[in-house]
Structure 1
């Protein structure tokens, strides 16, 4: 079932003189087009709204968008007026962006987290990252669909599905997983429904959807971006991050989201990889020969760019690690979701996790049409955050991913950056059995749980299904990873253009 909010009605507005090919443009090219007068912000915004009508609301019906900002065209007109007067606020002035629908904006749009319980959650608040984008002159075009409650509801969930927005489709191969939980943000970016999108991650929710949709995604260092007014899972891991079609675009978005304090775009330097020791996480491969062939080609590309490759064959994880990780998330979720729901200024029917569980039971035909809520229910009984049980679990997972994880690998192998596959090849979406993934590939959980940065960049496709490569490093190494990612991107073709194939058949596999 889908309860998507109707698209902004922009019929009858003045048409663009020359159609804008948004599919062919990266964010830096869009900024250049606005700066040189190739097109206006109104032209650009209208082009994206038209494309959403054609690709998301009809045609392949991606279900990537939950709601659109009815004021978008007015905001674009104001930006054009500023530009005409030479008063642009930043390079992002007049550029339309989509937000994952767990991020609040003070535009007249609800922040639903994909749940019908929050259909009226219009808070008139900007999350700090949104306020910074707004102060930069950026246009909040709308809200992107997501895995409901950022995929923290059921152990049998279907990634990319929400009761409000339906199931997000992968624009490359429509029956494939768009992953999650930032599924709509990544699918919308791949389909060129905005100039850039914002996702969030607790563990994999930027990296996985970005890689399977063939776009660039950055999970920044935890704490770089405030998480106020974002529907929470776990404050020790939650972060937002940019999703774009190019590394330079991700740097520009990060500049805007951090208030232009660090000049990520201006400090990009692809030459940093020359002579750099890069640790290749061979232990993070899976058993897919085609994925491993793509990863081997990516390693060769890094070598061609001047990097020295250092093989890392193993990394130990304590047997109790995953149980401890799940415990930490459950404990934090109950506390922080209770605080979020009780503090919302909107008129909503749920004010606590217990209220939400009851709401879902009372509205099971809509909310539990595909899967249940065992994670919500078990979180009600999670240990308190001041308990020894929680504190011991938090210490264990941090030591495993920091001291004995990324920090140890960087130190022991004398490397500056770690490189691995971003994830496995996306499987078919399965609403009957829930997510059915192949053997996992990648080590992104180390970055997610440690709070260290992780950047995924497209490395190729397998029968039309995108796959990505991840670059990780220590706390605060966001600028370094962006430069390394740029160097890798420069050796290839960039983000693949979606073909909207219905499926992958045996003929598509020949020669692979």
Structure 2
């Protein structure tokens, strides 16, 4: 989850979201208005590579998987751990080189597991891996939690030949710890920085995954979302992010917030790479019954829907009321809408966003109930030293200086005070938030015969400020698809104040093929992906 935009519609919206103060980088130099690592962060030989381009280089013998892994590990060491200190990677896989050698041996023997064979990826640190890496959700309370089994999505990656080179930092507990939390900060991993302007926020909770992709520390990454945690960090880091339909991708082996809204999703620099990764992640899992709903609806290969003409003849809905008050954002949206029209789409103004945002308090209520139930179940079966949410809370209190130096744990406490999932208040909130948002979207889409709804995703990124915290402004488009469980894809659409802005497409359940097609057509016509400049500050 990101900073929980639904809180803006409740009295909790007035609470500042505190942040971790970032010191200046001592080893950066000015270069044509940007700040880069001394020696040149922009000189990385694998910069802006794609899955397809790396596969070609592997097939031609230009590189081995072992060499690719080593190059990315060197890059991580140079600008993530040292250099710029992006703090996007929370842990390196010590077995990555050995796995790469095994993938090389298979390739040499003529075996190919598919497009991800031998390709380095990173995953979020709330996803179980049965290896030497921990799964902690960024929390010191979960240090030492070495999973006994891979999460379903991890198994899919391994079967596809992907090499997991590390886990990514995140907003602690996927940003469900405090009403004053800082996006991208965790007590275990520190503060992740926005790669475009280093003193700005990367959003969350999949901050590390987004920044790692944007900064070319990997090819693609896996994030998770409850409300905005894939699409928001993707948007403000200038990459593509897909939040799938709930049920398309299994959640088993992922530290939960809400079984109604949680999902893993791909993050990449191109729509094509995101589509490739989505096809790998999707699948039916007996340990996650909701995935049974995707039978006959999921696809093993979403790249077949990449079509530069996919916007032709489409009917696209856009919120009638302008998003926010910033004239530069308005100009950016107008340019995006004009491009969509130029590509053959018909744009229809609609009214829906205020109705969904009014359900924010109910959405938060649902999450608190489901978080308590889900986390207690996860911890009870885990190898963590804490076995209940109450024990997590007690650990944080006993280790307050390290675990809670900037903000506390109001959300953990309020969630722990909830009753079981048979409570009438939970059921009422679920009907209001989840089913209510679905009805609003279903009705507006049916009445206007829409193929998708679009608009600016988020942003621009706020500054990191540990006194007043996150201040995200009045432009966000994460909750409609999140609360309803519908798919959502964000694509780079330009910059405001030198910070990336994303453009969103979302629609009804299992409409990923159509959304991917439209997003690809927009991406290819706009070409707005811009490499990060690693500026030290906005000024």
Asked if these proteins are the same fold (TM beyond 0.5), I'd say yes
* Contact 1:96–1:139 (CA under 8 A) maintained in structure 2: yes
| Equivalent residue for 1:475, pick from 484, 494, 509 | 509
> Counterparts of 2:358 and 2:389 in 1: how far apart (Å)?
27
Query: Does residue 128 of structure 2 align to residue 94 of structure 1?
Result: no
Which stretches of structure 1, 4 residues or more, deviate above 4 A after TM superposition?
Answer: 313-316
Runs of at least 5 residues in structure 2 that lack an aligned partner in the other structure: 1-19, 22-42, 284-297
| Equivalent residue for 2:342, pick from 304, 327, 336 | 304
Residue 51 of structure 2: aligned partner: 27
Residue 17 of structure 2: aligned partner: none
| Equivalent residue for 1:337, pick from 375, 378, 390 | 375
* Contact 1:94–1:138 (CA under 8 A) maintained in structure 2: yes
Query: Does residue 501 of structure 2 align to residue 501 of structure 1?
Result: no
Deviations 1:5-43 (A, max 9, x none): xxxxxxxxxxxxxx9722131233222322333322112
Query: Shift of residue 338 of structure 1?
Result: 0.4
Cα 1:392–1:443 shift into 2, 3 Å: same
Cα 1:318–1:97 shift into 2, 3 Å: closer
Of stretches 319-328 and 55-64 in structure 1, the one that deviates more from structure 2 is 319-328
After TM superposition, list the pairs within 5 Å mapping 1:375-414 onto structure 2. Answer: 375-404=411-440, 406-414=441-449
| Equivalent residue for 2:455, pick from 388, 395, 420 | 420
Of stretches 389-398 and 146-155 in structure 1, the one that deviates more from structure 2 is 389-398
> Counterparts of 1:436 and 1:51 in 2: how far apart (Å)?
31
> Counterparts of 2:356 and 2:96 in 1: how far apart (Å)?
50
> Counterparts of 1:289 and 1:453 in 2: how far apart (Å)?
29
Residue 10 of structure 1: aligned partner: none
* Contact 2:205–2:230 (CA under 8 A) maintained in structure 1: yes
> Counterparts of 1:312 and 1:131 in 2: how far apart (Å)?
42
Of stretches 245-254 and 316-325 in structure 1, the one that deviates more from structure 2 is 316-325
> Counterparts of 2:483 and 2:352 in 1: how far apart (Å)?
19
Residue 276 of structure 2: aligned partner: 252
> Counterparts of 1:191 and 1:319 in 2: how far apart (Å)?
33
> Counterparts of 1:313 and 1:258 in 2: how far apart (Å)?
32
TM-score under structure 2 length normalisation: 0.87
Query: Does residue 401 of structure 2 align to residue 365 of structure 1?
Result: yes
Query: Shift of residue 434 of structure 1?
Result: 1.9
Give the root-mean-square deviation of aligned CA atoms: 1.7
SS in 2 for 1:283: coil
Deviations 1:394-429 (A, max 9, x none): 01112321112x212211111101001101211101
Query: Shift of residue 284 of structure 1?
Result: 6.2
Of stretches 366-375 and 39-48 in structure 1, the one that deviates more from structure 2 is 39-48
> Counterparts of 1:222 and 1:315 in 2: how far apart (Å)?
21
Deviations 1:148-189 (A, max 9, x none): 000000000011000110000001110111000000000111
* Contact 1:201–1:239 (CA under 8 A) maintained in structure 2: yes
> Counterparts of 2:277 and 2:117 in 1: how far apart (Å)?
12
Query: Shift of residue 318 of structure 1?
Result: 7.1
Query: Does residue 486 of structure 2 align to residue 452 of structure 1?
Result: yes
Residue 485 of structure 1: aligned partner: 519
Residue 118 of structure 1: aligned partner: 142
Deviations 1:439-474 (A, max 9, x none): 2x1332010010000000000112320000000000
> Counterparts of 1:43 and 1:494 in 2: how far apart (Å)?
30
> Counterparts of 2:141 and 2:54 in 1: how far apart (Å)?
37
SS in 1 for 2:495: strand
> Counterparts of 1:86 and 1:256 in 2: how far apart (Å)?
21
Query: Shift of residue 90 of structure 1?
Result: 1.1
SS in 2 for 1:174: coil
> Counterparts of 1:24 and 1:353 in 2: how far apart (Å)?
41
Residue 271 of structure 1: aligned partner: 309
Cα 1:270–1:220 shift into 2, 3 Å: same
